Structure 1
Amino acid sequence: MELSNKSEYALLALLELASRYSSGESLQIRQMATLQDIPNRYLEQLLATLRRRGLIKSIRGAKGGYVLARDPQKITLLEAWSCIEGVEAVVTPKKQYPGTLENQVIHEIWQEARQAANSVLEHYTLHDLCERRSKKRHKELMYYI
């Protein structure tokens, strides 16, 4: 399982929105693009997908932009990732694999690995990402004599 640029950019945008959720502040595309160094056009497409899937909402007007549709503690990384990569990326039901016994064994192990990765992503939320970022920023600011 690999993190695509598409998923990484989407998670970066969601991280920015999650960090502003409690204040209710919306972010415009160009602000997110600048903060996370994401191409504007690409970000527009990703945000449209996230909006259609119900993770974010758009706000119209001069002070409009995007906000999370739900509390960041209730949006798992698995949900965010599956919105971008597609539902079939999340869980493939156990099935009989055609081919040799060796092919079947390889596919079974790959299925186990995918389920383990999904379990980790399901455990973490956007709120967890915000907390980790804050802790790392705080560590970077600390210095020792």
Structure 2
Amino acid sequence: MEISCKSEYALLALIELAIAYESKEPLQIRQISVQQNIPDRYLEQLLAMLRRGGIVRSQRGAKGGYLLAREPWKITLFEILACLEGFDTQPIDQETALKSGKTLEGAVICEIWHEAQEAANAVFQKYTLKDLCERRDARRQLDFMYYI
């Protein structure tokens, strides 16, 4: 499994919004774009998806921009990825797979694939935006300590 470019860019943007959460100041697309090297137009589309998913909110006006819709410790990676990638959270059993025209072997493969996806989803549900920020800060601290 690989993270899609869409999800990676969205997570990078959300980390920036999580860092700015305490200040209550919205970030403009251009600020996030420059900070994380994300194309403006693409970021605009991603933030629109995240807004529709209730993860971010926009603020209009001269000092407008984007803010997290909730606290960073309440937004899981699963919620973000489900919004962007449209995860199917319904289990696939052998009977359902067979009814959809799969062979018995194809149904078994689908079951195993779904089991792997459920394991990945459990990890995504375990971590929040705050966790990403804390890991980032810890790595930054380690890098700083290394160069002293």
Quick check: 17-26 or 127-136, which moved more? Answer: 17-26
Checking the alignment, whether the CA contact within 8 Å between 2:54 and 2:69 is kept in structure 1 is yes
Report the TM-score, using the length of structure 2 for normalisation: 0.90
Closer, same or farther: CA 90–138 of 1 in aligned 2, 3 Å? farther
Which residue of structure 1 aligns with residue 92 of structure 2? 94
How far did residue 102 of structure 1 move? 2.2
1:1-145 mapped onto 2 (5 Å cutoff): 1-86=1-86, 89-95=87-93, 96=95, 97-98=97-98, 99-143=102-146
Structure 1 unaligned segments of length 5 or more: list them: none
In the alignment of these two chains, the number of paired residues is 143
Quote the Cα distance in structure 2 between the aligned partners of 1:8 and 1:130.
Answer: 14
Quote the Cα distance in structure 2 between the aligned partners of 1:144 and 1:47.
Answer: 36
Moved over 6 A (4+): none
Letter paired with 1:49: M
Letter paired with 1:60: R
The structure that is helix-richer by fraction is 2
CA RMSD of aligned residues (A): 1.5
How far did residue 65 of structure 1 move? 0.8
Letter paired with 2:48: A
Percent identity over the alignment is 61
